[in-house]
Amino acid sequence: MKEAIFSFLIILISSLPLIIALIVLHKRGISSIWFFVCTIAGFFSVAIVLLLNNFFPVLSISERNNIFNILIRAAFTEELSRFIVLMPLLAIALQKRGGRSAVVDPSYDNSAWGGIAGLITGLGFAAAESIFYEILTPGAALLRAFSAAPLHGACGARVGTACIYFRSRPMYALYLFLSAAVIHGMYNLFLISYHLPSVLALMLAIAAMGSQMITLKKSY
């Protein structure tokens, strides 16, 4: 009974950032339907990660192989999954009909919509991932419940913005994407390293989210 209650609390904590984001963004004019679509995109990107991981074998444990597993098999594929779901989603959402988009508020610029969509998608991914971890290893997802949401939200916002600039400023888009993958990789390293305190992962996640929120505020 206690384990069930604890698991429920973990799931609730994992979903709380999504609920807070919904309330805050709704007050800023983000429709509930758009929020729901982006959240589902986050859930769907988890399935894409599982598919992509089939192309990257799990290497034996060694210092060099751990770098590959952390940066490529984990961080890179997760950011790539977000890019895969966000590119068509934003292309459809920002398609103009009659001089304006039928989905998004034209008072925000496109980079803001990319960042917001990426943020929501990242939070959706974090919620699904935390629940997945909790089902597999009850109790092990506590730190992730507090740190994964800001980490995935921040990285998702970078990837969403990269999608907007993919055609017009490809090098900048590449920088945003790779920086998201590097930040994500560093988070994973802090989380699993025996030589570094796990609290560094939480500090990095909060710093990344804070920086991204400042950037987004300048866009809308």
Spatial CB neighbours of 181, under 8 Å, sequence gap ≥ 6: 71, 75, 76, 79, 155
Spatial CB neighbours of 126, under 8 Å, sequence gap ≥ 6: 14, 17, 42, 148, 149, 151, 152, 153
CA distances from 161 to 16, 166, 170, 192 (A): 24, 9, 11, 29
Nearest to 157 by CA among 206, 117, 106, 217: 117
- Encoded tokens for 114: 């990319």
Nearest to 117 by CA among 182, 50, 181, 212: 212
Residue 117 Cα to chain centre, angstroms = 10
- Encoded tokens for 2: 């206690």
- At residue 34, does pLDDT exceed 90? no
pLDDT digits (tens, 9 = 90+) for 40-71: 999 999 999 988 888 776 655 555 556 777 77
As a whole number, mean pLDDT of residues 94-103 equals: 56
- Cite the beta strand spans of 150-203 per DSSP E: none
pTM for the predicted model, two decimal places: 0.85
- At residue 20, does pLDDT exceed 70? yes
pLDDT digits (tens, 9 = 90+) for 170-189: 999 999 999 999 999 999 88
